[in-house]
Amino acid sequence: MKVLTEAQRRAIAEGGVLSERRAKKWVKDQGFKITRFYTHKHAGCFDIEARKNCQSWMIEVKSGVSPKVIVENLIKMTNTPNIQKIGLLFIPKSDDPPLLFSLNRMSYAGLKASKTKGKEVERKAGKKASRAIRSQK
């Protein structure tokens, strides 16, 4: 593992602060009302909590050359009550616009039901295909 110098650590921290400021401005410009914003390291799994169109959002801000998304944090965010949307906001280093990927929060019961329905549709399609093959013989 590469050890960073103090100057490199400071540069990364400064870049992170600038990206967070840019993210906050962009989120507001998109019509979100920010209800919570973390400007420092914290134990939470998101950086911004906001509301837009009567929906509550949790947004994780990512920046840098190769931003990493921690799956465990996404899972924590999906298990948070009263949140309808989860966002991953990627802030590029250049003047390119940020990219917001949104995920609709689905309950575990909803996810299980959608998988069950999908299997039922597959089963029915398989039976129909089998009948069609038998009728051609």
Model confidence over 52-106: pLDDT tens digits?
A: 999 999 998 888 777 788 888 888 888 888 888 989 899 887 778 899 988 887 6
0.95 exceeded by pTM? no
* Backbone φ and ψ of 119, nearest 5°: -65, -40
* Backbone φ and ψ of 123, nearest 5°: -60, -45
Tokens coding 69: 């998304």
Per-residue confidence (pLDDT) for residue 71, from 0 to 100 = 82
Residue type, 6: E
Model confidence over 38-54: pLDDT tens digits?
A: 766 655 678 889 999 99
Q: Compute the distance between CA of residue 112 and CA of residue 48 in angstroms, rounded to an integer.
A: 29
Task: Tell me which of 26 and 113 has the higher pLDDT.
Answer: 26
